Amino acid sequence: MTGNERITNPPRSAIVVGAGIVGLSTAWFLQERGVEVHVVDRGGVAAGASWGNAGWVAPGLAIPLNEPSVLRYGLRSLVNPAAPLHVPATVDPKLWAFLARFAANSRWSSWTRAVHANLPLNEECIEAYEVLTANGVDAPVVDAPITAAFRTPHQAESLLRELRRMADAGQPVDHAVLDGARLAEHVPLASAALRAGVRIDGQRYVDPGGFVHALSRAVMARGATLYAFEVADVRDENSKLTVSSRHGTSVSADAVVVATGAWLPRLASRWGVRVPVQAGRGYSFTVPVDRPVPGPIYLPDVRVACTPYQGGLRVAGTMEFRDPDAPGAPARTEAIIASARPLLDGVRWDERTDVWVGPRPVTPDGRPLVGATAKRGIYVAGGHGMWGLTHGPITGRLLAEQITTGKQPAVLHEFDPLR
């Protein structure tokens, strides 16, 4: 249901398929509206992209991926398997169909539309986190600037241009340009190779796995049940929707939300959702450090994000378009290290732990899929790309409003799954 339609009998129960940040946020805000919730996930809490990402709650850097420059960079990466953005040269019709649509949307008009669509999410995402942490989600959200570091002031100009474009599109981002001395103050790990920086103010970061597990505990404490199985089917039975596994396990409710990240099309395509979602896989690991890490560090030229994590540094990077269930490629981790090693000192790269690969759900037009499908009572939420952690809680709040009122919030119009 969209537009001004309302439902006279709002759902009293819902099943959320997917126990990542988007699914659990939707579950929490549905509970806030009096809905009984069941959560289903094949791998448990934070088993997908919600665990190993950089942990940034960064509306100032939530920039759509479909920039024309990204397309040009991706084309060059076809012949460089170590490139931060990697498109494997494989015979995969679905991947190439996605890339064709991504290329068609890699123009400034589409990018600007995505920026405008995401503006309300960026404006309200930190408040949504504050609502959660003020009401039972026991996990810290740390207020800290993100400092982008560059070899030269000329290289910093690329990020400054992006920030100006964001401002022109309606989202000014507080930032400051840093010379080498001020950069060293903000980033004690910076090597002598880094001589310029841009400080992005007003951002936050979390331990992503810790936060999502805390959110899960809060949802369960409010009465939700967690089921561990992979959903194979959703049936309409006796005015209820029943989700079931291949082995016969099932649970029923009045509404279903599918928030399965990069696996979203496996179910959503059955209900009229035609916008493809491709796994843009990211890699991360944790390393000990010999110097303080006062806040997140961004290395834009090599597309590496670093975050204080459990006394060390979580290092995350790469965008690899492959099947979400494909095994990790150790060469991708080595490529991240090779690119970041000359830029950071005091990092014990050879003592890395928690090596991880996970799929981020990417849409070709830079806009996620949030809202009702063509099947009564079934909704989807996903496709946030690299910004699922930033936008997960506010997405859950808006979708819970739509589910319980039957009225699509104006903010969600651009994210309509049936577009």
pLDDT tens digit sequence for 62-117: 999 898 877 666 666 665 666 767 676 676 888 889 989 999 999 999 999 999 99
- Answer yes or no: is 353 within a domain: yes
Predicted local confidence at residue 80, as pLDDT: 66
Kind and range of the H or E run holding 72:
helix 68-77
Three-state secondary-structure class, residue 186: helix
Domain presence at residue 3: no
Which one is predicted more confidently, 96 or 1? 96
- Report which of 363, 383, 357 is spatially closest to residue 51, judged by C-alpha positions: 357
Tokens standing for 125?
A: 């995402």
Asked if residue 8 belongs to a domain, the reply is no
pLDDT in tens, 76-86: 666 566 676 76
Number of domains in the chain: 1
Neighbour-count burial of 169, counting CB atoms closer than 10 A to its CB (0-12 exposed, 13-18 middle, 19+ buried)? middle
Q: How far apart are CA 124 and CA 136, in angstroms?
A: 19
In a domain, 4, yes or no: no
Q: Dihedral of the CA atoms 152, 150, 367, 262 (nearest 10)? A: 140
Determine contact, residues 214/139, Cβ cutoff 8 Å: yes
Q: Which residue has the higher pLDDT, 33 or 248?
A: 33
pLDDT of 7 above 80:
no
Tokens of 158: 């690329």
pLDDT of residue 68: 85
Q: What is the mean pLDDT of the chain?
A: 93
Query: ∠ CA 293-296-297 to the nearest 5 degrees?
Result: 90
Render pLDDT for 190-220 as a digit per residue (tens, 0 to 9): 999 999 999 999 999 999 999 999 999 999 9
- How much is the pLDDT for 6? 54
| Residue 274 included in any domain | yes
**Distance between CA atoms of residues 266 and 18, nearest Å:** 13
Per-residue pLDDT tens for 118-165?
999 999 999 999 999 999 999 999 999 999 999 999 999 999 999 999
Query: Does 47 have pLDDT greater than 90?
Result: no
| CATH code for the domain in which residue 56 is found | 3.50.50.60
Asked if pLDDT for residue 314 goes beyond 70, the answer is yes
> Are 14 and 35 contacting, i.e. CB atoms less than 8 angstroms apart?
yes
User: pTM for this one?
Assistant: 0.93
Is 6 within the bounds of a domain?
no
Convert 190-240 into a string of H (helix), E (strand) and C (coil).
ECCCCCEEEEECCCEECCHHHHHHHHHHHHHHCCCEEECCCCCEEEEECCE
pLDDT value for 51: 87
Residue with tokens 């494909």: 326
Residue 4 has pLDDT above 60, yes or no: no
Q: Which two tokens stand for residue 48?
A: 């997908």
Question: Could you report the per-residue pLDDT of 318-332, keeping only the tens digit for each?
Answer: 888 888 998 888 989
Q: What is the percent of the chain where pLDDT is above 90?
A: 82
Close Cβ partners of 67 (under 8 Å, ≥ 6 residues apart): 106, 111, 162
Residue 1 lies in a domain: no
Residue 114 sits at the vertex; the CA angle it makes with 108 and 119, to the nearest 5 degrees, is 125
pLDDT value of position 92:
80
Integer-rounded Cα Rg, in Å, for the chain is 21
Q: Is residue 7 in a domain?
A: no
| Distance of alpha carbon 122 from alpha carbon 167, whole angstroms | 13
User: Domain containing 204: what range?
Assistant: 13-415
More confident residue, 288 or 4: 288
